[in-house]
Amino acid sequence: MPPLPPSLPGLKTGGGSSGGSGNTFHYTFHGDPHATFASFFGGSNPFDIFFASSRSRMFNGFDQEDMDMDDDDDPFSAFGRFGFNGINGVHRRHQESLHTRRKVQDPPVIHELKVSLEEIYHGSTKRMKITRRRLNADGRTMRTEDKILNIVIKRGWKEGTKITFPKEGDATPDNIPADIVFILKDKPHSHFKRDGTNVIYTANISLKEALCGCTVNIPTIDGRVIPLPCNDIIKPGTVKRLRGEGLPFPKAPSQRGDLIVEFKIRFPDRIAPQTRQILKQHLPCS
The answer to whether residue 7 scores a pLDDT higher than 50 is no
pLDDT of residue 267: 92
Q: Could you report the per-residue pLDDT of 166-217, keeping only the tens digit for each?
A: 999 999 999 999 999 999 999 999 999 999 999 999 999 999 999 999 999 9
Distance CA 25, CA 22 (A): 8
> Average pLDDT for residues 25-54, to the nearest whole number?
55
pLDDT of residue 79: 47
Span of 133-142, 203-212, 271-280 with lowest mean pLDDT? 271-280
> Average pLDDT for residues 276-282, to the nearest whole number?
87
C-alpha distances (whole Å) from 124 to each of 44, 117, 121, 169 are: 84, 11, 9, 24
Beta carbons of 151 and 163 less than 8 angstroms apart: yes
Span of 29-33, 83-87, 135-139, 252-256 with lowest mean pLDDT? 83-87
The answer to whether residue 104 scores a pLDDT higher than 90 is yes
The answer to whether residue 89 scores a pLDDT higher than 70 is no
User: Which of 58, 34, 62 is closest to 46 using CA atoms?
Assistant: 34
Share the mean pLDDT of the chain: 79
Higher pLDDT, 83 or 180: 180
Give the ranges where 144-250 is alpha helix by DSSP (H): 207-212
pLDDT of residue 283: 84
pLDDT of residue 285: 79
Q: Which residues contact 162 (CB under 8 A, 6 or more apart)?
A: 181, 182, 183, 184
Name the strand (E) or helix (H) holding 119: helix 117-122
- Using 50, 70 and 90 to split pLDDT, how confident is the model at 143? very high
Distance CA 235, CA 23 (A): 125
Distance CA 153, CA 186 (A): 12
The answer to whether residue 154 scores a pLDDT higher than 60 is yes
Distance CA 22, CA 130 (A): 86
